[in-house]
Every structure is written in C-alpha cells, then in structure tokens.
Amino acid sequence: MRLEDHAVAITGAGGGIGRAVALAFAAEGAGVVAADLGERADAVAEEVRRAGGRAVAVRADVSRSADMRALVERSVREFGGLDVLVTCAGLGTAGLLLEQDESEWTRVIDVNLNGTYRAIRAALPQMIARRRGRIITIASVLGKMGGYGFVSAYVASKHGVVGLTRALASELGSQGYPGITVNAICPGYVRAGMGVATQATKAGPMSGTEIFERYYKRLVPQRRMIEAEEIAHAAVFLALPESAGITGQALNVDGGFVTS
C-alpha cells in the first residue's frame, strides 16, 4: 500500500494497458479515477472496487478538453487532489500511408498526441499548485523507430508523445517545479494491447500477435510479447518516491527489442 495517500487519473482506463494500470495502482492503495468512453470506464472502476480498491468512473473523451478538465475536477472532489496522471488512451489503425485518408491521419494524431496534451494541460494546474506530481505517458517503441504494418500516423503520434514528454520535463524543471516529473513508457508488442488488432501486411491482414510471431519475435531478445501488467508495474514505479530523480525519460518495456 505504498500509494494509499495518492489519487491517480487514468485515460483509456478501459483498454488492456489502462485496465492493468488501474488495478496495479489500486493494489498499492491509490484512489483511481478511471476515464474512458461510455461503459468501459464503468466496467474497470467496478472491477477495481470488486478487488477491494477505491475507484470512480468518468466517461470522458480525450478529444474534448472539457472532458479532461472534468476528469481532474472529479479526482479533486473524490480524493482531494491529483497526484498521478497516466495517459493510456490511444488509437491505432491498419494500412499504409497511401491507403489512409486525411481524416484517418487526423483522428489518430488527435487521440494519441493531442489527447495526451489535453489530459496533461488539464492536470498541470493542480500539480503546480501543490508543487508535486507524476505525469506518465504511454508511448510506444514505435515512438523511437518505424515499424512495418503500422500506419505512419500512429508512429508519428508516438514520436510526438515522446517529444512532448521530454520537452515538458525540461520545461517544468527549469520553471522551478522539480517535484513534478514527466516520463514516458514505451511498450513493445503487448499481448492485451493494440497489438491484437488486425493490420495490413504484404501477406494480407494479420493480427498483431501473428505479425509478432512472423516478423518480430526473432528480433526480441526475450522472444515473447509483453504483458499489460508489466507496463502497469513500470507506471507504479515511476509514481513512487524512489523515482523522484527520474524525469524526461522514455522507458522501454519491450523484452529488449529497442536499446536506446
């Protein structure tokens, strides 16, 4: 129960990674504000409560700034503040650059990158007022490299999330807020994440798991996919007092796939 006096807000809490993050923080005693679209938020909050944790649901869309402000307000109202923000909301689509239209490109960038910005922008005033906080963005190893089978918009958006994370960490430190850290987690292929979605390849439509087995497994030293719980444990670590000196970093949790 290392975080029992903390409140954590999680966007995309109904997804595979977001759900694991919510359960992991609740297991450490934190009050969880689970944000997602529609019933997904309700479902994960109920699961946390059934496991003995504290959680409330907020039906929120990261494409709307007002929803992100409402998320922070709910955290303050229910748990007295906001200590940790984890931005798990993300969108991935299949196909190649010439196969997607501008509206699809814009949607992916808006959810993955702009949605991260909106959530952070809403949370920062609360953290600045208290001069402490943890912002943890969920990026991707594809925020550091390219990757066949993924639309370029996804790769570009995750590069943007990594860049935003690094820039904001520097900005806050130079403004005199060293108690607010900003770090990214860069998952590799996650079994319960978007890696299960169908993607376009030269061999035809394949699931993320099939792509991993055929193309990437031999490149991963551990020869396995990452579990969502492993991403969640990394997020909890970055929220602990022991990680106070870590900021502006993009931590790979990928079985050794990327080494920079």
- Which residues form the catalytic set? 154
Question: Which among 77, 72, 82, 71 has a CA at the least distance from the CA of 25?
Answer: 82
Distance CA 55, CA 50 (A): 10
Burial class (CB in 10 A: 0-12, 13-18, 19+), 245: exposed
Judge contact between 15 and 193, C-beta under 8 A.
Answer: yes
- Those residues whose C-beta lies under 8 Å from the C-beta of residue 40, and which sit 6 or more positions away, are 13, 14, 15
Please name the helix (run of DSSP H) or strand (run of DSSP E) that holds residue 239, with its range, or none. Answer: helix 228-239
**What whole-number distance in Å separates Cα of residue 125 and Cα of residue 47?**
30
Residues in contact with 125: Cβ distance below 8 Å, sequence separation at least 6, in sequence order: none
